[in-house]
Amino acid sequence: MDYKSIGLTGVGNARQLGGYIGADGRKVKENLLLRTAQLADASTEDLKHLKEIYHLSDVVDFRTTLERDAKPDPEIEGVSNYHLPILDESSKESAGMAAAAAGGAFSLDKVMEFVEAGALENMYVDIAVSPYSQKQYTHFLQILVNHKEGAILWHCAGGKDRAGLGTVYVLAALGVDRETILADYMMTNHYYQEDIAKFEQYILSQGYPKETVKAARAMAGAEQAYLEKALAVIDEKYGSMDAYLECQLGLSVENKQKLRDRYLEI
């Protein structure tokens, strides 16, 4: 299976979207749309790779200010950096999502409290219907519309939840089918298979029941049912993904065509 790696050693879940079939049977252009985990541990060679191989020009960081301050992105000469925190940091309701998305910043007990309360299961739904989050993704899509040359990279902490939803919207806007979108989302489990196994063993060693461990698995990896739940809510609440992109994320028909002309092969 082609896992679309971009060959970074210090950055997790680092891959690109090139090669997927989009609107009118046109392929997504290679090496322009990159999705990764946080860049804080990128090696000198990784940064050189991004500049020389991919001609990186823009980075979009979806993390909270807390995460960003704890592990800031490296400054890369000639690269513009946009901070678009997907979770509303002023909202108490975002606490569960923040814990789920950035477990490393919270105690295990606190993280498991949110897991047992269903914060993980409903996280994508909560983000998808949040006006604050929608506004941030609107800005993200506009950056993509305005982007001119080189690669653009977006990330959160693990590159799977907030970056994962951003990728769903990008691929949907480009006309990629839902089966492929889900398969791309699930590639996270390939990149994090060792971390997932270690996390499960650690949770078990702390005395949590197997049912809770299963729910917590999505903390380190990806759970397709959680994303499918959000997609179903989008279809039901807003009519369709296309309607959601246009009415909630501000992607006009004209701008959707601009995205396709820019990122799909002729």
Residue 143 has which token pair?
């950056």
- Please give the residue range of the domain that contains residue 182: 15-261
**Mean pLDDT, range 29-40, rounded to an integer:** 97
- Contact in structure between 136 and 163 (CB atoms under 8 Å): no
33-36/15-16 β-pairing: antiparallel
151-155/33-36 β-pairing: parallel
CATH of the domain at 189: 3.90.190.10
The total number of structural domains in the chain stands at: 1
77 in a domain, yes or no? yes
Mind listing the pLDDT tens digit for each residue in 81-93? 999 999 998 876 5
Residue 109 has pLDDT above 80, yes or no: no
Residue 73 has which token pair?
């992105």
- Contact in structure between 204 and 102 (CB atoms under 8 Å): no
Spatial separation of the C-alpha atoms in residues 53 and 97, rounded to whole Å: 35
Res 217: pLDDT: 79
pLDDT-derived band at 106, boundaries 50, 70, 90: low
- Residues of the chain above pLDDT 70, percent: 94
244 in a domain, yes or no? yes
126 in a domain, yes or no? yes
36 φψ region: left (φ > 0), alpha (ψ -120 to 50), beta (else):
beta
266 in a domain, yes or no? no
Amino acid at 203: I
- The pTM (predicted TM-score) of the whole model is 0.93
Mind listing the pLDDT tens digit for each residue in 35-80? 999 999 999 999 999 999 999 999 999 999 989 999 999 999 999 9
Residue 185 has pLDDT above 70, yes or no: yes
Amino acid at 227: L
30 in a domain, yes or no? yes
252 in a domain, yes or no? yes
Mind listing the pLDDT tens digit for each residue in 222-256? 999 999 999 999 999 999 999 999 999 999 999 99
DSSP-assigned letters across all residues of 191-203: HTHHHHHHHHHHH
- Contact in structure between 108 and 79 (CB atoms under 8 Å): no
94 in a domain, yes or no? yes
146 in a domain, yes or no? yes
